[in-house]
Structure 1
Amino acid sequence: MKSFIFVATFLSLLVSSCNKEAANFPTRKTDESARRKNVHSKRRSPGSNHVHDLKEITNVSALINRLVSADKRWRPKVITIADGSKRYTYQKRLHEGTLTLEELKQRIKNPSKFQAEKTAIAQLIKKLRSLGIPIFIGETHSVQAVGTWNPSSNRIILRQVLVDNGTLDFHEALSHEAIHVAQSCASGSINNKPRPLGLPLKYSVSIDEKVAHPLYAINFKDNLQIEREAYSHSREPGKARKLLDHYCN
């Protein structure tokens, strides 16, 4: 049986920004330690025995707690300088617009809890389990793929970095792969290669960059539409679950 693997390549870029209270625009600089770590990880081969390092997600509550902890890294921080002025620093996501001083203050005062995404994660894991699909944390077939759905082995693998990056990235990756599962079901069997569902496609700089990734060039000709469809709807809490309910029952 020919094996097809469908991947998610997106990952939020950590960018360190700061905002002095005297000015409304942050000074942007690259998080050098994160960049070096990322470069190192791309050079390292997962190894032939990486399958044995996979850990199945069995405790959803523990997973959510880890995501809550990871979400704190995205919260702005206030640093009081010797002259009494304040500087606001925060981690900036890829393609995120520059935050104003007032927006930074609001994030500190009312940090987002991403409750809709957390609920969607728990529901998705439960649904996928009911379909006989385990979700593992571990190495994927390529260090450039943060998530994979393999219809032939009937499992989803997500890289540890998604847990470390918090709720939004984990939800998007899990939803992306779950949409691929729905696409497989729509093609006649959960073990079939996915086919497009005919959902509206979105076009943006972010999505265009993702589907242009070299990893997608090695798969069959429908792959770009399949991937764009998954990327177009993977950020919507509850969407992937609805698609699984519709196509996989």
Structure 2
Amino acid sequence: MEVLIGKAQAGDQEMVAPTVHANIRELIARLQAKGVRVLISGNVTDGAAGVWDPGVAEVRIKPSAVALGSNILVEILAHESAHVAQSCRAGGLGRNSEPMGIQVFPAERFKDQLNSPLYRGHVSTKVIELEAFTVGTNPPWAIKLPDHYCKG
């Protein structure tokens, strides 16, 4: 965990609020407590900074994304934590994401991301991603989601 934070800090271009690193620690700790591995890995979908792989219960984050700094890292972890919670909502860590039905920002706010080739397909994919992008903007909320949706 501290190695990951150190790598992100090396990419920080500005002062980062102490709460950012606390949120990173808490997000990772909550994910690990639920049985999720958090890795720095090149095995991430092209065009994405991170990925939730329910088949192996892993959150993988690209090294290049970590190098963008702590503020980006906490946003990625919060986004992927939402996907973990969505899997738990669908029945458990090994399940594909299912919308949680949470309040989200208007899709217009994430128009560029949602219209990327990464999210082409069924409208439910966009709903799932809109939830995750919304949660990504609020790491303290993301910290609570795995505990709420992932029992045990």
How far off its partner does 1:141 sit? 4.2
Q: 2: distance between equivalents of 1:161 and 1:205?
A: 27
RMSD between superposed Cα atoms in Å:
1.6
Q: Deviations over 1:146-199 (max 9, x none)?
A: 111111121111001121100111111111111000011011111111111111
The answer to whether the aligner puts 1:209 opposite 2:112 as a matched pair is: yes
Q: Percent identity?
A: 28
Structure 1 pair 61–133 and aligned structure 2 pair: CA distance change class (3 A): same
Match of 2:46 in 1: 143
How far off its partner does 1:204 sit? 6.1
How far off its partner does 1:142 sit? 2.8
Q: 2: distance between equivalents of 1:213 and 1:114?
A: 31
- The alignment partner of 2:52 has SS state of strand
User: Among 124, 131, 134, which residue is 1:222 paired with?
Assistant: 124
* Structure with the largest fraction of helix: 2
Q: 2: distance between equivalents of 1:141 and 1:69?
A: 21
Q: 2: distance between equivalents of 1:202 and 1:121?
A: 22
Match of 1:175 in 2: 78
Q: Deviations over 1:30-51 (max 9, x none)?
A: xxxxxxxxxxxxxxxxxxxxxx
Q: TM-score, normalised on structure 1?
A: 0.57
Whether the 8 Å contact between 1:171 and 1:235 is mirrored in structure 2 is no
Match of 1:244 in 2: 146
* Structure with the largest fraction of strand: 1
The answer to whether the aligner puts 1:114 opposite 2:20 as a matched pair is: no
Structure 1 pair 205–140 and aligned structure 2 pair: CA distance change class (3 A): farther
Q: 1: distance between equivalents of 2:88 and 2:141?
A: 16
* Correspondences of 1:35-74 after superposition (within 5 Å): 60-71=1-12, 74=13
Structure with the greater alpha carbon radius of gyration: 1
Q: 1: distance between equivalents of 2:150 and 2:136?
A: 17
Q: 2: distance between equivalents of 1:206 and 1:168?
A: 18
How far off its partner does 1:237 sit? 2.4
Match of 2:98 in 1: 195
- The alignment partner of 1:172 has SS state of helix
Structure 1 pair 141–163 and aligned structure 2 pair: CA distance change class (3 A): closer
Q: Which runs of 5+ in 2 are unaligned?
A: none
Q: 2: distance between equivalents of 1:136 and 1:62?
A: 11
Aligned residues: 151
Match of 1:160 in 2: 63
Q: Which runs of 5+ in 1 are unaligned?
A: 1-59, 76-111
Q: TM-score, normalised on structure 2?
A: 0.90
Whether the 8 Å contact between 2:44 and 2:60 is mirrored in structure 1 is no
- The alignment partner of 1:225 has SS state of helix
Q: 2: distance between equivalents of 1:237 and 1:150?
A: 20
Whether the 8 Å contact between 1:140 and 1:147 is mirrored in structure 2 is no
Q: Deviations over 1:86-129 (max 9, x none)?
A: xxxxxxxxxxxxxxxxxxxxxxxxxx322222111101111111
Whether the 8 Å contact between 1:148 and 1:156 is mirrored in structure 2 is yes
